[in-house]
Amino acid sequence: DIQLTQSPSFLSASIGDRVTITCRASQGISTYLAWYQQNPGKAPKLLIYGASTLQRGVPSRFSGSGSGTQFTLTISSLQPEDFATYYCQQLNSYPITFGHGTRLDIK
């Protein structure tokens, strides 16, 4: 199985901050990586697919980059609704796997 390691696991930041979350894959996955946002009690929401393509309706302050084994999710200017947990997911090979999440809290 391909392991996805997210860092950091926890992140405290303020409104307006720029934050970056990293996802490292245990082997190359080209750009078959997606990012999700999840709020408590809700299903995950797709933010980015193909490592860098913004899902329709997702604000442009979200961006993704990377290929191979190193990927990043960046939020350019944090808004109150962005405080949530973020997950990466690889769809390059079976089984599809997820990272363990990064919880983003307000400072």
Indicate which single residue of 73, 78, 89, 104 sits in contact with another protein (rule: CB under 8 A): 89
| DSSP symbols for the chain | ---EEEE-SEEEE-TT--EEEEEEESS--TT-EEEEEE-TTS--EEEEETTTEEPTT--TTEEEEEETTEEEEEESS--GGG-SEEEEEE-SSSSPEE---EEEEE-
Residue 95 within binding range of another protein, rule CB under 8 A? yes
16 binds another protein (CB under 8 A): no
- Under the binding rule (CB under 8 A), the answer on residue 73 touching another protein is no
Closer to another protein by CB, 53 or 77: give it. 53
Interface positions with another protein (CB under 8 A)? 34, 36, 42-46, 48-50, 53, 55, 87, 89, 91, 94-98, 100-101
